[in-house]
Structure 1
Amino acid sequence: MYFGYLNQENQNLMKIYYFILTLFFCSISFAQSTISGSVKDNKNEPIPGANIKVVGESAGSVSDVDGKFVIKVTKKPPFTLEISSIGYATQKVQVTSASQKVDVVLNSTDTQLDEIVVAASRTPERVKESPVTIERMSVKDIKKTASPTFYDGLENLKEVQMNTSSMSFKSINTRGFATVANTRFMQLVDGMDNSSPLLNFVIGNMIGISEIDVQSVELLPGASSALYGANAFNGIMFMNSKSPFTSQGVSAYVKYGQTNQKAAGTNDYADYGVRVAKAFDNHFAAKANFTFLKATDWFATDYRDINNPGKDRSYYNYNGLNVYGDEASTNIKNVGQTLANMGLIPASAVNLLPNYNVSRTGYNEVDLTDNKVRNAKIDFSLHARPFGNEKLEIIWQSKFGFGNTVYQGANRYYLNDFFMEQHKLELKGKNFFLRGYTTTEDGGKSYDMLFTALNINRAWKSDATWFGQYAGQFIQSTLGGATPDQAHAAARAIADTGRLIPGTDAFKAAFNNVISNPDVLSGSKLVDNSRIYHSDANYNFKDVFKPVEIQVGGSFRQYRLNSHGRIYTDATGPIYYNEYGLYTQAQKKLMEDRLKLTASVRYDKSKNFDGNFSPRFSAVYSAGAQKNHTFRGSFQTGFRNPSTQDQYIGFNVGSAVLVGSAPDNLVRYTETLPVANDIYGNGQNYAGGTTVVMTGVNAYNNSYTAASAQAFAAMAGTNPVAAAALLRKSNATYVKPETVKAFELGYRGQFKGFSFDINTYYNVYNNFLGNLTVVAPLYGTAMDSPNIAAGPTDPGFQSIHALTSGNTRAYQLYTNTDIEIKSLGFGIGVAKKVYKNFEVSANYNYAQFDFDQAKDPSFEAGFNTPKHRVKASFGNEKLFKNFGFNVSGRWSTSYLWQSTFADGMIPSATVFDAQINYSIPKLKSVLKLGAANIGGKEYQQVLGAGYIGHQYFASLIINP
């Protein structure tokens, strides 16, 4: 096993852990009866992965690649075996003798419509009876996927949109408003929300689940707040692991291959894991998993200028997308005035300098990271059944995730030796569960790439010195007859003399000093020791009260934010806040079980906001003699509480400061800023000193919208009166919960061998949360169309003076828009067996949103979703003996990407994945050869992230 990136202490702990685990699983045994047999379909083909269970007991087994199984039972015959597999009708067989061989034939059923799901109603039901759209991935689907991992394969599900920030950080989204930091989508692993406590969003599968431990994945697109609370606003995904009572033995997999990208070249890729599980008897079982991934990340090498499309590095105010440090930019004429005031240049020379900004020379992202992906996941769980059956099960589960990855938010961040752990205690039975868990994270050696570059530059030469040298050389070159372009080139060359070059010892020393320092004035380290405590419970009264199936439940969560003042305003100590929710659901079947009515309502309360009710109503009608045509309709209201970032962030990202709007946060965030010289020379000191203290109150209550400030700047030099008339006070409101009214209609059914799943939805959003960039003057009062002729004593005039002299601070605020946002979509999925065992499936999704940008020009909704998406697959699990294959394809149209990092277009993309697999019965193994993005162009899913290249791999999976 590879532990090279873990410290020595962790290595020793892991060695001890596995030694103890080995003794644990090898030291206990019991006398058992052994029953063997086989499971085949009605074409005499073996069925691998079928579940074999003793009715009324915990003993269970799974069939191997030949359909054979062995099950050890502590009780004596007679007893009953239940054999089931997805896509087949369940069979029960009576065992009357310990020597009896059990050979079972399962009849095929409709694979998609008869699968059992739990997520849609918090109670088991068939997919076709679900009151809302639901997608599912089973063990069988994981085997078929042509993607490198099962998590990547989720992208082939209908309605799923994947956003790749890096190879190991992929964010799942449904129904629009997609971001890398997707706080509107929940991901639960065995009931635990594995979102980051600090940031409130999921970091892909970094602390998720091992591929060989996945039992099923269920995904609900759209609002799910009625049962799952505030964060299930745009969807929720459930990843469920295998029970050690029914899936025992040692399983393992190993994958090796290569990635290929124009920017990164060809690099090795390795991924492996092991699962150990044992049921010691009907009362006690345990399991453990270990996985490790190592690869080279997709290089981010987009060097387009963010602010000036078409400009290259020769541009004097260049700001490259994946270039950092060039955000240090200042008005070069202001610099000249400062030099003149200090007597370093003649006053007349100031007029030779242009009145616009010049930026420092930055560093490429590829020079600021090692571009390596590493992720290790370790989990173990202990399971006890006091009564020897499923009436009561007690579970202790611990999960640990270590890794390196790139996260993109307002900046690009390298999560280096990032660590996250979860611990859960759960009691569950047939009709209830009660669980509590905690999630803790440690930022490790993570750092902000933008501040890394800024402070490497400043460690070598201060901004004041660099810009002073630039201005001085520009003047000299101009006096020597140089053109402006020539003067800029000469000025940059002089100012960059002695610049630290990537790869040199001097650069490495500066780099290491900066990334280990959490002070943004000189370092870039991200500090995080945040935690959440969560508990939830549910009880179903279906065995107590028969007329109507009633459920009740609730949850409680406490956040403990602790970034030591680096990200949040928690410099003096952790920030605590609580939220809780209560819900109930009633479900009733009528008309000979053809009509199912469901009503749910949930109440949620968070510390800083009023309580909110989220009702849901749905109806499902099953038509046809076999009830194989189901029609569904639902209405629900969802809501989302502002995240921890929306409320408590106080984060300097260089170009702006991110400020949350919780009332106590506004006064807690403070910053002392210098006041620049008066470039017009009228001698006025409106700030009352050389520095001014700014708080979050200034950001929200005394600022101009960035759009109007930019319009003012463009016209101020030629027509200052007209320019002032363009200014608009931001009037940003403090954040409050956003709400959605969601309407959905759908159909599932079969027609002439085709399986259909059709849905359409319409959402109406109010108080939609987003970002607003504002510019706050360091003095004066922001107001609409201030009067420039009012004179120096007028507060509006003073704010204009601050804008023109560069005495401002940019902020990114978290606020709600008053404009109603609407979105609608349509989806259709179809599947059919076309010849023998050949299967073909396809799905199409349409999505659009409606937002009147003219009514709120500074607000970015960030829909970030293609209007059209098509996905298809074609395969055969049994092409011929022991061989199977699958090919999948995806296509999407281009779309606008809006984020705090950058805005721009994501091009359309066509992607094909393919795999062929071969079963080796004697080794109980499956060999798979696969390729992702085979023969296609490199494509991008997140503006600013690396283009996704090609990936080729071979894998060997060994099952008991």
Structure 2
Amino acid sequence: MKIYLFIVSLFFCGITYSQTSVTGSVKDSKNEPIPGANVKVIGDTSGTVTDADGNFSLSTTKKPPFELEVTSVGFGVKKVNVTSNNQKIAVTLADEETKLDEIVISASRTPERIRESPVTIERMTLRDIKNTTSPTFYEGLENLKEVHFNTSSFNFKSINTRGFATVANTRFMQLVDGMDNSSPALNFNLGNLIGLSDLDVHSVELLPGASSALYGANAFNGILFMNSKNPFEFQGISTYIKRGITNHEVAGTNEFLDFGLRAAWAFTPHFAAKANFTYMRATEWIAADDRDVNGGLVGHANNRNYDGLNFFGDEVSNFLSNVGTISRDGYREQDLNDNEINNLKFDASIHVRPWATSSNQYWKDTEIIAQHKVGLGNTVYQGGSRYALRNFFMSQTRAEIKHKNFFIRGYVSAEDAGDSYDMRFAAININRRAKTDVQWFTDYATAYLQSQIGLGFNGGQADAFARGFATNNITTVPGFPGANPLGLTPLLNGQAQFQPGTPEFVNALADVRSSADVSNGALFKDQSRIWHSDWNYNLRDHISFADIQVGGSFRTYVLDSQGTIFTDFDGPIRYDEYGLYTQFQKKFMEDRLKLTASIRYDKSELFDGQFSPRVSFVYSAGERKNHNFRASFQTGFRNPTTQDLFIGLNVGPRALVGSAASNLTRYSETINVSNAGVLEGNPSTVTLNGVNAYGLSYTSESVQKFLQTQNTNDLATVQQTPLVKPEQVKAFELGYKSRINGFDIDINGYFNIYNDFMSGARVVVPFYGLAGNDITNQANINAINAISRGDRRTYDLYTNTTAVINSYGVGLGLVKKVYKDFELSASYNWAAFDYDETVDPAFRPMFNTPEHRAKFGINNDNLFKNFGFGINGRWWSEYEWTSTFADGTIPSTFVLDAQMSYAIPSIKSVIKLTGSNIGSNDYLQVIGAGRVGQIYTLGITINP
């Protein structure tokens, strides 16, 4: 309480400080206003940006005379003398590329030039957004040198920086106007499904490395900041509409629509409001990979236990004596959902500046904001299974007080899964509505054995006949007289498998989508929430020798899936975490050397507290201080996510069991034992829980090898899987930024050391016997028999590897303005990792990042009067993808995007034609997801 009283007293102490106000305008050489230009007081942290008309207003505690520095992308630096209070100035910037002088805030929570940033930082400006070659600004982020996308769906893209990421990138944080827009239940961001409209984006900043020292546990491998336009500074009604087509090898050619509307107005100097609405509709990149999940041959004709990657229902299998393991027929993923995706976003906010016209300059720019955001629609998410998110809904409600020296923010994120369902269980239970598993396998076994005895069939012939009999009640045999030469009677007459598109199939799909019980349905429920508050105070008006900040945050998780995702069948699960931090920043050696030091303490009620220190140095060499060298060291940590702790999810062939101690007994399932196992005296059903899963078991890899070799020595036993705990990273980074002979150069190198790296462990528990490979031990023999017969359960568990993981990489970026207004850019990234595999042979790193990536861009937004164009290309090398859903190889790929634009100044509009993945085949970014096709759009934006 004393700390908070002290902070409040500091707020009011600021009233006694005198202020100097400066207003003005910034224009280019053609007398056109420059929106978004940075205006900074030299020798102070005070600064602002120009509004849509190029106007600005700022206050500072410095007394005249002093200098302002004005910069904007594409223009030279201009310094202006301020000699009196309330001075009005007019600034004209000359054309020159000066990306290194842009002002950023995210790296240190205070305004600073990008070249002085203590860590690697990428930025997308208003100009970049206008000139992006992608359909939206968010997709355009993939052209930043540090970004690689993992595409799960047409409208669900996950940002990957520096590796160790699946679609569910829980090591990366995404903030929209300061709000973490990750899913409350899943703990990772949902792309731009509840983000910003292209019309409302003011700036985007990306920190690709660890940022825990200022932003807490989830900012472990990067953080993205998306900042919207303020209605006081960007007023009017703006709109865009984009129409086009998508082209895809599986989905075909389909229509694409994207529409947006923004309205903002400052009604008085004290009150402003804005609202945004966007709607996008398209056809899904249909996933149709028919490869066998276990690496076997494709199709049941070649593989009795076939389990197709994007076929569902064929996960149900059984071991039959003298036959082997047999799986049921499945359905294509594309038959289990309508493949129509859409996304609607709406947000509205009111902004109040109570003292806008006050003579008290300290409080003059204070702003109070109340905002509500919603996002809803349809998409596909890939985790342990493939999930059709239908009519999902997520909202965020924020209240914030902002001042140049502090902010206090609180918000709540809430979601509703709507009519979302697991496509794997949809297929499994549609099959069961046609014929139960017992009926199907009994019919198969009967037909298989009778065809061998009565017709002399070999194994392949018997399998084909038995599958037709069990799946479709086919009794005829080519070459044998009569409709039923064996006199077989199926256990179920009529249609034994519903065909897609038939009324029976449609009704069965609707039925399973309405039930949340995985034994007969596929629906999952989720109404989870996150309550979050954070604050920051900069002591610059009270302490002059250095820039010092203090801040903190508090968060409450409320998990409410009604037992369909988490083990919250008896009520919501709640837990809290909080954090406190401080940062010290000071310049030495005539402002050439900048030291930044910070430390943060975070505590979750489920784990011990963690300290995250960071220290960095930036040295500006050269007469113009244009050679900027930086070095930083920081530690970071990541708490286990809600899924890591409390998930209890049956995904068919496996079950996901969270690692919280209380979760082990909360999760349980009852499973049928095979006929062969029952004949040996074992019970017909077995009940397993998380204690069994984390207890004595076999590694999944060793079981797969044993099933191929039948050599019991290949079986590896896990005595006990440790419960998950926070992971740690030590991050070292070196960098250099400069402008040499017109080239903007950015080089960085990093080395990360991970301890207690969180990973998944896939284990197999036998239904009976005791896991082991001693063939003289009867309990081990029983367990080996259970494994061979399929009397086993596979679990995906959450734990930490004992191996030390190292990741490292290098990034190089070049930008050069050449003939007239042509801008060329190029970048290269190298990323790799290593660890001692002998320490933990079962560890699955899920790095999922190309070792080599190269990108280039050619842009000219003034090729001739009102006409501009841009081209972006990106290439990555082949790499291995691993995840809880599927593993495989992502091939080397080159992608080319382009745009042409024509401005109509009389109506303040731009007509733009874009093409994505031009002239190339569909490409893959996630094993199990649909390949990415081509998008061509023609749109008009009216933006006064």
Q: Which residue of 2 aligns with 1:936?
A: 920
What are the Cα deviations for residues 670-724 of structure 1, in whole angstroms up to 9, with x where unaligned?
222233344595x444xxx4333211011001222112223333344xxxxx515
- Distance of 1:149 and 1:133 partners within structure 2: 24
Q: Which residue of 1 aligns with 2:879?
A: 895
Letter in 2 for 1:381: S
Contact 2:447 2:465 in 1 (8 A): yes
Name which of structure 1's ranges 224-233 and 666-675 shifts more when overlaid on structure 2.
666-675
Contact 1:712 1:727 in 2 (8 A): no
Letter in 1 for 2:690: G
The answer as to 2:463 corresponding to 1:488 is yes
Task: Give SS of 2:314's match.
Answer: coil
The answer as to 2:277 corresponding to 1:290 is yes
Task: Give SS of 2:101's match.
Answer: coil
Number of matched pairs: 875
- Distance of 2:504 and 2:249 partners within structure 1: 29
- Distance of 2:572 and 2:25 partners within structure 1: 58
Q: Which residue of 2 aligns with 1:171?
A: 158
Q: Which residue of 1 aligns with 2:3?
A: none
The answer as to 2:792 corresponding to 1:808 is yes
Task: Give SS of 1:427's match.
Answer: strand
* Equivalence map 1:432-443=2 (5 Å): 432-443=406-417
Q: Which residue of 2 aligns with 1:523?
A: 521
Change in 2 beyond 3 A, CA 1:376/1:600: same
Contact 1:39 1:50 in 2 (8 A): no
Contact 1:50 1:83 in 2 (8 A): no
Change in 2 beyond 3 A, CA 1:918/1:234: same
- Distance of 1:503 and 1:674 partners within structure 2: 32
Shift of 1:895: 0.4
Q: Which residue of 2 aligns with 1:638?
A: 636
Contact 2:813 2:828 in 1 (8 A): yes
Contact 2:817 2:824 in 1 (8 A): yes
Shift of 1:57: 13
Out of 333, 338, 342, the residue aligned to residue 374 of structure 1 is 342
Q: Which residue of 1 aligns with 2:646?
A: 648
Contact 2:598 2:615 in 1 (8 A): yes
Change in 2 beyond 3 A, CA 1:571/1:70: closer
* Equivalence map 1:244-259=2 (5 Å): 244-259=231-246
- Distance of 2:753 and 2:111 partners within structure 1: 30
Out of 731, 740, 745, the residue aligned to residue 751 of structure 1 is 740
Q: Which residue of 1 aligns with 2:320?
A: 332
Change in 2 beyond 3 A, CA 1:283/1:58: farther
Change in 2 beyond 3 A, CA 1:58/1:943: closer
- Distance of 1:680 and 1:199 partners within structure 2: 39
The answer as to 2:398 corresponding to 1:430 is no
TM-score by length of 1: 0.88
Contact 1:702 1:777 in 2 (8 A): no
Name which of structure 1's ranges 420-429 and 844-853 shifts more when overlaid on structure 2.
844-853
Change in 2 beyond 3 A, CA 1:579/1:269: same
- Distance of 1:637 and 1:201 partners within structure 2: 21
Q: Which residue of 2 aligns with 1:189?
A: 176
* Equivalence map 1:20-59=2 (5 Å): 40-42=27-29, 44=30, 46=32, 49=35
Q: Which residue of 2 aligns with 1:363?
A: 331
Q: Which residue of 2 aligns with 1:707?
A: 701
Name which of structure 1's ranges 845-854 and 613-622 shifts more when overlaid on structure 2.
845-854
Q: Which residue of 2 aligns with 1:471?
A: 445
Change in 2 beyond 3 A, CA 1:165/1:311: same
Q: Which residue of 1 aligns with 2:548?
A: 550
What are the Cα deviations for residues 788-815 of structure 1, in whole angstroms up to 9, with x where unaligned?
2234xxx444433433443322111011
Shift of 1:38: 9.1
- Distance of 1:457 and 1:231 partners within structure 2: 41
Shift of 1:103: 7.7
- Distance of 1:767 and 1:53 partners within structure 2: 45
Letter in 2 for 1:619: F
What are the Cα deviations for residues 552-596 of structure 1, in whole angstroms up to 9, with x where unaligned?
111110000000000100000000011111111111100000000
- Distance of 1:540 and 1:275 partners within structure 2: 33
Change in 2 beyond 3 A, CA 1:595/1:95: closer
What are the Cα deviations for residues 353-374 of structure 1, in whole angstroms up to 9, with x where unaligned?
32x2111110001101111111
Q: Which residue of 1 aligns with 2:6?
A: none
Letter in 2 for 1:906: I
Shift of 1:318: 1.2
What are the Cα deviations for residues 83-140 of structure 1, in whole angstroms up to 9, with x where unaligned?
86434336779999xxxx9985312454310110000001000000000000000110
Out of 223, 226, 235, the residue aligned to residue 236 of structure 1 is 223
* Equivalence map 1:600-679=2 (5 Å): 600-678=598-676
Contact 1:258 1:269 in 2 (8 A): yes
Shift of 1:262: 1.3
Contact 1:274 1:291 in 2 (8 A): yes
Letter in 1 for 2:569: A
* Equivalence map 1:265-276=2 (5 Å): 265-276=252-263
Shift of 1:472: 1.2
Letter in 1 for 2:293: I
- Distance of 2:807 and 2:47 partners within structure 1: 49
Task: Give SS of 2:663's match.
Answer: helix
Task: Give SS of 2:586's match.
Answer: strand
What are the Cα deviations for residues 356-399 of structure 1, in whole angstroms up to 9, with x where unaligned?
21111100011011111110000011111111165421100110
- Distance of 1:851 and 1:82 partners within structure 2: 48
Task: Give SS of 1:451's match.
Answer: helix
CA RMSD, aligned part only? 2.6
Contact 2:368 2:402 in 1 (8 A): yes
Task: Give SS of 1:441's match.
Answer: strand
- Distance of 1:942 and 1:210 partners within structure 2: 26
Task: Give SS of 2:523's match.
Answer: coil
Letter in 1 for 2:641: S
Contact 1:385 1:394 in 2 (8 A): yes
Q: Which residue of 2 aligns with 1:539?
A: 537
Contact 2:620 2:628 in 1 (8 A): yes
Change in 2 beyond 3 A, CA 1:928/1:70: farther
Task: Give SS of 2:508's match.
Answer: helix
Task: Identify unmatched segments of 5+ residues in structure 2.
Answer: 1-22, 58-66, 357-362, 473-494
Letter in 2 for 1:359: S
- Distance of 1:542 and 1:53 partners within structure 2: 18
Change in 2 beyond 3 A, CA 1:484/1:804: closer
* Equivalence map 1:876-955=2 (5 Å): 876-955=860-939
Q: Which residue of 2 aligns with 1:29?
A: none
Contact 1:87 1:115 in 2 (8 A): no
Contact 2:197 2:276 in 1 (8 A): yes
The answer as to 2:86 corresponding to 1:118 is no
Change in 2 beyond 3 A, CA 1:81/1:465: same
Contact 1:52 1:62 in 2 (8 A): no
Contact 2:348 2:371 in 1 (8 A): yes
- Distance of 2:36 and 2:510 partners within structure 1: 53
Name which of structure 1's ranges 700-709 and 294-303 shifts more when overlaid on structure 2.
700-709
- Distance of 1:452 and 1:674 partners within structure 2: 20
- Distance of 2:895 and 2:650 partners within structure 1: 38
How many percent of aligned residue pairs carry the same amino acid? 56
What are the Cα deviations for residues 752-776 of structure 1, in whole angstroms up to 9, with x where unaligned?
1111000000111111111111111
Letter in 2 for 1:284: F
The answer as to 2:462 corresponding to 1:462 is no
Task: Give SS of 1:946's match.
Answer: coil
Task: Give SS of 1:131's match.
Answer: coil
* Equivalence map 1:765-780=2 (5 Å): 765-780=754-769
Task: Identify unmatched segments of 5+ residues in structure 1.
Answer: 1-35, 72-79, 334-352, 717-721
Task: Give SS of 1:756's match.
Answer: strand
Letter in 1 for 2:706: F
Shift of 1:305: 1.4
Letter in 2 for 1:934: I
